[in-house]
Amino acid sequence: MSDMIMVKQKLVDLLKQAAVKAQESGKLPSLSLPDVVVEHPQKPEHGDYASSLPLKLARSTGLSPLAIASSIAEFIAPTPEIAHVAAAPPGFINFTLKSDWLTQQVSYILSAADSYGNIDMGQGSRVQIEFVSVNPTGPLHVGHGRGAILGSALANVLTAAGFSVEKEYYINDAGSQIDAFGRSLYARYQQSLGTPAEMPSEGYFGNYMVELAKELIAEEGDRFLALPEPEATSQLKQIGLKKIMSQIKSDLELLGVSFDNWFSERSLYDNGGFKKAMSPLHQGGYLVEKESATWFVSTALGEDKDNVVVRSDGSPTYFAADIAYHYNKFVERKFDQVINIWGADHQGHVSRMKAVVGALGINPERLKIIISQMVTLRRGGEPVRISKRSGELIILREVVEEVGADACRFFFLARSADSQMDFDLELAKRESADNPVYYVQYAYARIASILRLARQRQIDYHDGDVAKLSSEPELTLIRKMLLLPEVVESIAHMLEPHHLAYYAQELATVFHSFYKQCRVISEEDEVMTKARLKLVVAARLVLAKTLHLMGMTVPERM
RNA sequence: GCGCCUAUAGCUCAGCGGACAGAGCAUCGGUCUUCGGAACCGAGGGUCGUGGGUUCGAAUCCCUCUAGGCGCGCCA
């Protein structure tokens, strides 16, 4: 529960009520109201909130927008938050918040503490967010890092928005690519032991496979050479998978990304989940036999082609597994909402996945798929090929170790998922001092430093009077702090965590500006010192919350 | 050929139906006796890729075209 975010909602309600009263009084014709939208005006002189409702009503009523604005404004009931309401040309209604209400919010933030910014939008409904889910056939690369950061930040925000969130990694431990991985590993194993062996054409040629083979030799010796090939391949595959997975796990940990659940694709076949999921599709007539394979007739649902579910050799496709997996998410585990974060190369699967979810009798609206566009990696302006199969791949770990997890997180979060981005390692290192990460974290370190001084001087400010905060830099800072719940709400609604990075930067700017203009600890003015210390503590809370939502650290010093 | 994403200030990007289009970096010019200058203040810089349309109102919605990226397997 948050008073702040309620202000916006409260204004919407006030506007609706005022419009109805205006209608009852005859000043407005009785028509059904459009959606009432309240937003933040760009210009401060237009107040804290504004609505263009009168402009929207102008056409249907035939009245001038400004006249409508005046009529409605007249009926806005007084509230403790609002200083004044104004009708402004061409037809806006502007609201300005009361200064004393604003300053009072500092106390509110202090009492809310870590929970400030949390809202009850989700009301505990269950959301599963599945991300990364990279095939365990090689290390993570930078693009995977983008999805990882996106997913974990989004999970943080959704949690703050009152959803019950579960983060999941889907392990593709079945299928032909995993078999190719096993055969590749076997070949490298043999080669390392001096036995000539040929890599499969669909194999994994990265150097990490050679290293993996050597590691296995060091740990297990040459005992697999004695086994028949299928047995050796199968055993090596299992051991290799485990090793790669633990590598992936530790790479993610380095980035500060964790999961609640690691879901094995193979388990869908082992426990009958696959068969269960197919049955509603059979019953719905969505599966047909064609060319001795089983197809999902997505064309019947408006797709441009059908998709094979079971191959002519009887083995299920990746798509089939995905169907079973989503059946498991929605039907077995009963998530209210499922969010998948996929790379741009999976974009073509979005519509058929939604189609199949619909065919399973689940409202496709409950499945949200976020596509994160490609990251192209550069070094000194030169593009670096990112391919699991090239020997020269730049792995995520390397990047994180070079620029740091915080910088990675901020950088990846600072742009929307659907824009592709270039990431130049040289640039990131060379310009690290200008990195916005430091700007934002510096604001936090400054706050920490002020509070250290206060502690050192043993200033007791618990009785500080926030009502003394009245200057423009102070109120500007408070206004910005009050936006956090709205940012959380907006991100939870749009599933666009990049707004966090912008908000963090704005908050830091406003704080730096306040700091420059308002001396906090002053020997002459004890009253002001105490009031401002309260403000600073509140600012620390808000900044820390923002950075934590981004998954970043808060440095006491830097 | 079809589908998805992108095109906004010199650069990197926000804004996605409302009031003169914003930020960071870069450029130029200012601010330092006290809490951390990794700071602050200010200036210049944009016919929002093109051409249509819808609307009282479009960077924002629809269509055309152009350019770039990614997909379109009985791979995953």
CB of A388 under 7 A from strand B? Answer: no
CB of A28 under 7 A from strand B? Answer: no
- Whose structure tokens read 């401060």? A44
By C-alpha to C1' distance, B24 is nearest to A436
Smallest CA–C1' separation from A319: which nucleotide? B76
By C-alpha to C1' distance, B7 is nearest to A419
By C-alpha to C1' distance, B69 is nearest to A420
Q: How far is CA A204 from CA A141, A210, A257, A464, in A?
A: 15, 10, 26, 65
CB A353 within 8 A of CB A369: yes
Once rounded to an integer, what is the mean pLDDT over residues A532-557?
96
CB of A137 under 7 A from strand B? Answer: no
Angle at A413 between CA A408 and CA A418, to 5 degrees: 120
The 10 Å Cβ neighbour count of residue A515 is 18
- Looking at residue A238, what is its pLDDT? 95
Q: How far is CA A146 from CA A300, A307, A342, A362, in A?
A: 35, 29, 10, 29
Gap between the Cα atoms of A144 and A248, Å rounded: 10
Label residue A31 by pLDDT band (50, 70, 90). confident
- The DSSP H or E segment spanning A488 is helix A484-494
The CA R_g of chain A, rounded to the nearest whole Å, is 29
Of A243 and A63, the structure prediction assigns the larger pLDDT to: A243
Label residue A190 by pLDDT band (50, 70, 90). very high
What percent of chain A is predicted at pLDDT more than 90?
A: 77
The amino acid occupying position A104 is Q
- Looking at residue A423, what is its pLDDT? 82
- Looking at residue A430, what is its pLDDT? 63
Q: What ipTM, to 2 d.p.?
A: 0.95
pLDDT of A1 higher than 80: no
Dihedral of the alpha carbons of A149, A152, A154, A156, in degrees to the nearest 10: -140
DSSP string, A278-326: HHHHHHTT-EEEETTEEEE-GGGGT-SS-EEEE-TTSPBPHHHHHHHHH
User: What one-character DSSP code corresponds to residue A521?
Assistant: S
**Phi, psi of A212, rounded to the nearest 5 degrees:** -60, -40
DSSP string, A240-272: HHHHHHHHHHHHHHHTT---SEEEEHHHHHHTT
* pLDDT digit string, tens, across residues A442-469: 999 999 999 999 999 999 999 999 999 9
The amino acid occupying position A357 is V
CB of A436 under 7 A from strand B? Answer: yes
Q: Protein A70 CA to nucleic acid B39 C1', in Å?
A: 44
pLDDT of A27 higher than 90: no
Tokens of A66: 């400004």
* pLDDT digit string, tens, across residues A123-166: 999 999 999 999 999 999 888 999 999 999 999 999 999 999 99
Query: Which of A236, A125, A108, A252 lies closest to A178, judged by CA?
Result: A236
**Phi, psi of A522, rounded to the nearest 5 degrees:** -130, 135
CB A461 within 8 A of CB A533: yes
At a CB cut-off of 8 Å and minimum separation 6, what does A506 contact? A480
Q: Protein A376 CA to nucleic acid B12 C1', in Å?
A: 14
Label residue A201 by pLDDT band (50, 70, 90). confident
Q: Protein A56 CA to nucleic acid B18 C1', in Å?
A: 9
Once rounded to an integer, what is the mean pLDDT over residues A55-79?
89
CB of A39 under 7 A from strand B? Answer: yes
Gap between the Cα atoms of A476 and A539, Å rounded: 12
Of A341 and A381, the structure prediction assigns the larger pLDDT to: A341
Strands (E), A110-157: 126-130
- Determine the 3-state secondary structure of A342 from DSSP: strand
Tokens of A141: 């690369």
pLDDT of A383 higher than 80: no
- Looking at residue A4, what is its pLDDT? 53
CB of A370 under 7 A from strand B? Answer: no
User: Which residues in range 507-536 of chain A are in contact with strand B, contact meaning CB within 7 A of any of its atoms?
Assistant: 509, 512-513, 515-522
Once rounded to an integer, what is the mean pLDDT over residues A228-253?
95
CB of A101 under 7 A from strand B? Answer: no
Gap between the Cα atoms of A340 and A261, Å rounded: 14
- Looking at residue A385, what is its pLDDT? 60
- Looking at residue A3, what is its pLDDT? 53
User: Which residues in range 298-357 of chain A are in contact with strand B, contact meaning CB within 7 A of any of its atoms?
Assistant: 304-305, 307-308, 311-313, 317-319, 321, 344-349, 351
Of A61 and A211, the structure prediction assigns the larger pLDDT to: A211
HSE-CB at A449 with a 13 A cutoff on CA atoms is 10
- Looking at residue A255, what is its pLDDT? 94
Smallest CA–C1' separation from A513: which nucleotide? B40
Compute the mean pLDDT over every residue in chain A, rounded to the nearest whole number. Answer: 91
- Looking at residue A431, what is its pLDDT? 61
Gap between the Cα atoms of A511 and A480, Å rounded: 9
- Whose structure tokens read 């500006």? A513
Once rounded to an integer, what is the mean pLDDT over residues A296-318?
92
Q: Protein A471 CA to nucleic acid B13 C1', in Å?
A: 32
Of A432 and A91, the structure prediction assigns the larger pLDDT to: A91
Tokens of A217: 């030799």
Gap between the Cα atoms of A81 and A74, Å rounded: 17
Gap between the Cα atoms of A425 and A375, Å rounded: 12
Once rounded to an integer, what is the mean pLDDT over residues A367-393?
72
Which bases of strand B sit closer than 7 A to a protein CB?
2-7, 12-26, 34-41, 55-57, 68-76
- Looking at residue A346, what is its pLDDT? 94
Q: Protein A402 CA to nucleic acid B10 C1', in Å?
A: 29
Gap between the Cα atoms of A228 and A208, Å rounded: 25
Tokens of A226: 């004695």
**Phi, psi of A10, rounded to the nearest 5 degrees:** -65, -40
pLDDT of A58 higher than 60: yes
Once rounded to an integer, what is the mean pLDDT over residues A539-556?
96
- Whose structure tokens read 């791949």? A393
CB of A85 under 7 A from strand B? Answer: no
* pLDDT digit string, tens, across residues A486-521: 999 999 999 999 999 999 999 999 999 999 999 999
pLDDT of A387 higher than 60: no
pLDDT of A2 higher than 50: no
Query: Which of A547, A448, A473 lies closest to A504, judged by CA?
Result: A547
Let me know how long chain A is. 558
Q: Protein A40 CA to nucleic acid B19 C1', in Å?
A: 12
Query: Which of A408, A400, A489, A430 lies closest to A150, judged by CA?
Result: A408
| DSSP β-bridge partners for residue A167 | A129
Label residue A389 by pLDDT band (50, 70, 90). very low
Strands (E), A364-443: 367-372, 375-379, 382-384, 421-424
pLDDT of A391 higher than 50: no
In terms of pTM, does the model score above 0.90? Answer: yes
- Looking at residue A304, what is its pLDDT? 86
Label residue A390 by pLDDT band (50, 70, 90). very low
Once rounded to an integer, what is the mean pLDDT over residues A216-245?
95
Q: How far is CA A426 from CA A380, A392, A399, in A?
A: 5, 17, 11
CB A256 within 8 A of CB A155: no
Label residue A265 by pLDDT band (50, 70, 90). very high
**Phi, psi of A464, rounded to the nearest 5 degrees:** -60, 145
Gap between the Cα atoms of A249 and A259, Å rounded: 9
